[in-house]
Amino acid sequence: MITYREPVPADAEGITRVLRESWAVTYSQWLTPEWFEASTDAWADSWRATLERAQQRRAAGEPDPARRWIALDGDLIIGVSNSGRSAVHGAFEPAREVLLGILYVDEEYHGTGVGSKLLELALPDGAPAELWVADPNPRAQAFYRRHGFEPDGARQINERLANTPELRMVR
């Protein structure tokens, strides 16, 4: 049975596994094994610190500007989404106030509705938002189109992501 909840610091390793495996499939044409080795080692620590700060804010009664969700099959984390405030992305000013920063699902769960549910949790009620997606990435772009996103013409090369071409989609 698939369940959904907000992540806690102990979920950092599982989130990192989903991201590493998803990126290996999605970005293999751009990202070398050397890039992964140099770039992904710190992901679990970064996620743990982010989730600890979010817990501290909630405990203090402060709002968290981000919406983070995980999908689980039993105890196994199989998907993750994160939305928050938009910011300058490369040379582009934000097109919307909210950015869908990540949405990744283990490949074996593609087409099961897990991604759609994580998107709805990150951006409830079809909220206006922007996202950046690798280009080409026809599967992801088709998924986002089904959920009301359209390219707005903004394109760039993401130098921080091994020169991956990206386009912005908005709704």
pLDDT digits (tens, 9 = 90+) for 49-99: 999 999 999 999 999 889 999 999 999 999 999 999 999 998 999 999 999
Mean pLDDT of 111-135: 97
What average pLDDT does the chain have? 94
Predicted local confidence at residue 125, as pLDDT: 94
Cα–Cα dist 95/157, whole Å = 18
> Looking at residue 32, what is its pLDDT?
82
